[in-house]
Structure 1
Amino acid sequence: MEEAGVKAHWKDSLTGKLLVRLWLSLLLVSLIMGIIQYQALNQFLMKGETQDLQAQIGSFDVNQLNLWLGHEQLFPKAWPSLSTGVVVGFFSPDKKLKGILTRQEVNTKNPYALEKSFFQKQIEKNSLRTNAILTSPKGIRYMVISVPIYLNYETTANVTGQNSKLASNNTLIGYAVLSAPLTQINNILYHQLQVFLVSTLFILVLGGLLTFYILKKPLQPLSRMSDISGKIAAGNYTLRIPHEPAASEITHLRSVLNQMLETLNRSLATETEAKEQMARFIGDASHELRTPLTSIRGFLEILLRNPETDTETLTSAHKSMLVETERLINLTEDLLTLNRLTKHIGQDPQAKPETFVQNIFPELLPLLKSLLEYRTLDIQVDEISLPVEPGELKQIIYNLIHNAIQHTPVNGKITIKTETNDKAKFLCVTDNGEGIALQDLPYIFERFYRGSRSRERKAGSGAGLGLAIVWEIVNLRGGMIDVESKQGEGTTFAIHFPSDL
């Protein structure tokens, strides 16, 4: 319903927004161009009308005008050379009205008949108003201009029987004020405005249709991306946005979305795997915890049923419960260590501890000797430091040697040595025990993994967390751990850290 509502409002779509902005841009440009053209045409027509009025004044005989203005002859009632609607008022040099002329006699059939009296009043009222636009009571616009009138004559002299030109004089004999109707100019401007409006509407409609058609194909990848994203949001995380020719921005968006989907898919896979590992971990931990607890409860029940148990049996039960209790403590400590390492990952990337390997053996050897029994421990350690905490290094060495002791027979040999080169630092623990089955090698660092029957847990052995703890510590400090093993010949665990750490 929401998607249908979005499609219903086309103005909210990308195409609609682009079209609206195009229309606004076209409208603004057309408006600016229309105003410029209108003003230019209006000035051109007004200039032409002014020149025409000035030319009509030039059609008068200046000598005749001089006689009219000097009252030596009466003003005629009309002048045929004037244009239709033009009214001319003549003034003396001292700006007194002398007479008014039109093209023909005023009559009721002339559309400008009533305008003559209006301009007579305007001319009398504004005697020499220049370049003015007036509007009559009938709503007709008129141009009014004022032109000075000069009488030209030349002064001559007779020199040796010949006339020669001495000077040319211009004498102001009066002024002419002309008013002309702007009906024709108004009609031209109105027609131009109509053409402008029709053409603008045509451009907007045609431009909108063409733009819609042109934008349809470039925006198709976005539409497909939207459809595929909807399917992905519905739960189909295996879909990807297909590659197709598109604009650089759309191509970049598609690439980023596909990378995001890959990351999301990996995160979901990691989360699923983590949930499965957590379920296995909880099951294995529950099993490991249940075994010693069941054993302790069994001994307690036996002791409660037989209050008069002999001293030897009581001592044996107490020893067994102590062993199981120690096993519970060790298991709990291992679980807490794994939890601490998991939380510590990524918390302090700037921390770069350094611990010299030979410095931790004085504290570690007494504990290892109690486990070796008749096995030999060969220590070949150079002065080399590893990027781990002292406690972490002790736990790594202890867990690896303890694991080797469990799978190395009596009189066997366990060797621990260090090496270094330009690229890495190595810590290796080697035994000549029973080795690890090939099918078990990929899983030996998993929590609670016990391996094949040849490496099943013996009495007093751990719960399968030692190697997992080693792997967590090495991975936390940016190192790697490899293992090589041949059944019946022995196993080598090699830990290496880059030299620049």
Structure 2
Amino acid sequence: MRWPGRLRPRSLRIRLVLISGLLATSAVLLCQLAGLAVLRGWLTDQVDDRLSHFRPPGRTYVDLRANSLLRPPSSDSALPSDYRVYFYDGDGRLLHTSLGSGAEPGPRLPRRQADLGLATGRPATVPARGGATGSGWRVVAYHGPGHMLAVVALPLDTVDGATAKLLWLSLGLGAAVAVGVVVLGNGAVRLGLRPLTRVERTAQHITEGALELSVPGATPDTEVGRLGLALNSMLDRLRAALHRTETSEARLRRFMADAGHELRTPLTAIQGFAELLLDEPDMPVRRRREAHALIAHNAERMGRLVEDLFLLAKLGETPAAHREPVDLLSLAADAIATTAIRHPRRAITLEPLAPRAADRERDLDIVEAPGDPHQLAQAVANLLTNACVHTPGDAAVRVRVGATRAPAGGGLGSGTPLPPGTPVCVVEVADDGPGIDPDEAPHVFDRFYRATPLGRTAHTATDPTPGSGAGAGGEPGSGLGLAIAAAIAAAHGGRLELDNRPGEGCTFRLLLPETATTP
């Protein structure tokens, strides 16, 4: 329903009340009009039935011919008072003589029979004579002897009176219904829209900053309830998004602070030794060489840190762009050889992964996974470096390579757990160190996180090796090695897990799907 611009109600409650009032009033009036039409038709049929049961006596026509109707009619021609009978002579002229009496004017009939336009025996309605405003007349024509015509008429005042009373009753009832619907409907609509009002108030409070609120009593039984459920779902997502944003901002601030702290240490060392060289130009050659060596070492350390940061950013934007089959056995052997040069006294062994019973029939001599060989090599090298740097010198390190199926549920680690039963290639790096504090184990894959080694209360040394992370009980590093390894695993659709055994060592497990997947 379209309202004029100035009269258009702005309140939904007012619109509902007006629309319901108009519909109810229209329905009542239509029903009353239909009843009025049926009643008028029924009363008219009663008048027609009375007309059909009355015919002028045959003697009347004889008296008219003899011009004897000037005297009072005989008993045979007596008529009820509400009947009127008019005659047309054989020449078709209306005779002024009529039968019947009454104060109201009679029907308006033409002077000539040819202008009458009535079918014999069929009732019709004609207006009152002389332009009177009273009720009309119901007339029927009958042919008589000698081409004469009699017109019998009955007034419709009873019919018009009954229909007029019913019409006024209908109008009064329609007005009463309209007032009742507006008054009672206003309260009913206000009560029915109460849940929507609560939703409106809740939304207003939320816009003012009360994000912890939810729409109360939201059920899927009504439209307003479903609206409340949708609003609550939207609010949950909004709160989750805001929480993620706040968490991301906090992590970014912590990351920037940690990165600045890690870069400040080598920069401070470089600046200090450079100033020392400038302030003491006569420094002995041996001390000058030591200063140059320390400057070069700290510059190299700072360069590795910057490269690791760039690598993490690159992995987040374009993960594992290059894919090819990678032999994990050869890759692990090369990583062990490289690590052994830097840690010649460390006992590092390469062992097969103990297969599950369901996998014993598989060929374990070749363990291949699709991926970027350079990134996977760096991930394994970071795990080996982490184990060598953060465990005592006499702790053995074992590298296990094999193929198996992903177990149900993922352990402590980084990345989305693989579906149970998924064929995976595994590279494990296990050590016999003291392990990691259980409270700090969930954070070892965070960037720049420094875990507290078991059995120690203070640590200030920094990791001089690249790609190191918080490990199993040794000196803490920059905290990027495990983060890089976890990012590489996620970029390949895999996962990096930690099996921590405090006091007995820990195992870092790299899981890679045997087929290429989208991370």
Give the TM-score normalised by the residue count of structure 1.
0.78
| Post-superposition offset of 1:235 | 1.9
Contact 2:220 2:229 in 1 (8 A): no
> For residue 155 of structure 1, what is the aligned residue in structure 2?
none
Moved more, 482-491 or 435-444: 482-491
State how 1:75-86 maps to structure 2 within 5 Å: 75-76=69-70, 81=79, 83-84=81-82
State how 1:161-176 maps to structure 2 within 5 Å: 173-176=147-150
**1:320 and 2:294 aligned:** yes
Q: Which amino acid aligns with 2:60?
A: Q
| Post-superposition offset of 1:352 | 9.2
SS in 2 for 1:140: coil
**1:196 and 2:170 aligned:** yes
**1:90 and 2:87 aligned:** yes
> For residue 272 of structure 2, what is the aligned residue in structure 1?
298
Contact 1:129 1:144 in 2 (8 A): no
| Post-superposition offset of 1:493 | 1.1
| Post-superposition offset of 1:66 | 3.8
Give the alignment partner of residue 214 of structure 2, picking from 222, 225, 240.
240
| Post-superposition offset of 1:211 | 4.1
| Post-superposition offset of 1:128 | 3.7
| Post-superposition offset of 1:284 | 0.9
> For residue 379 of structure 1, what is the aligned residue in structure 2?
350
Greater relative contact order (CA < 8 Å, ≥ 6 in sequence): 2
Query: Relative to 1, partners in 2 of residues 1:74 and 1:308: Cα closer, same or farther, differing over 3 Å?
Result: farther
**1:133 and 2:116 aligned:** no
> For residue 377 of structure 2, what is the aligned residue in structure 1?
394
Q: Which runs of 5+ in 2 are unaligned?
A: 1-6, 353-363, 406-420, 469-477
> For residue 101 of structure 1, what is the aligned residue in structure 2?
98
Give the TM-score normalised by the residue count of structure 2.
0.75
Contact 1:95 1:128 in 2 (8 A): no
> For residue 358 of structure 1, what is the aligned residue in structure 2?
329
Identity %: 23
Moved more, 121-130 or 391-400: 121-130
> For residue 468 of structure 1, what is the aligned residue in structure 2?
483
| Post-superposition offset of 1:101 | 1.0
SS in 1 for 2:440: helix
> For residue 389 of structure 2, what is the aligned residue in structure 1?
406
User: Structure 1 or 2: larger helix share?
Assistant: 1
Moved more, 204-213 or 9-18: 9-18
Give the alignment partner of residue 57 of structure 2, picking from 54, 61, 64.
61
**1:43 and 2:58 aligned:** no
State how 1:219-368 maps to structure 2 within 5 Å: 219-243=193-217, 247-307=221-281, 311-343=285-317, 355-358=326-329, 360-361=331-332, 364=335, 367-368=338-339
Q: Which amino acid aligns with 1:460?
A: P
**1:148 and 2:142 aligned:** yes
Contact 1:82 1:102 in 2 (8 A): no
Moved more, 235-244 or 317-326: 235-244
Contact 2:118 2:140 in 1 (8 A): yes
Q: Distance in 2 between matches of 1:177 and 1:352?
A: 110
| Post-superposition offset of 1:288 | 1.0
> For residue 483 of structure 1, what is the aligned residue in structure 2?
498
Q: Distance in 1 between matches of 2:84 and 2:397?
A: 130
| Post-superposition offset of 1:398 | 1.5
**1:494 and 2:509 aligned:** yes
Moved more, 421-430 or 443-452: 421-430
Q: Distance in 2 between matches of 1:200 and 1:148?
A: 44
Query: Relative to 1, partners in 2 of residues 1:133 and 1:265: Cα closer, same or farther, differing over 3 Å?
Result: same
> For residue 442 of structure 1, what is the aligned residue in structure 2?
442
SS in 2 for 1:231: helix
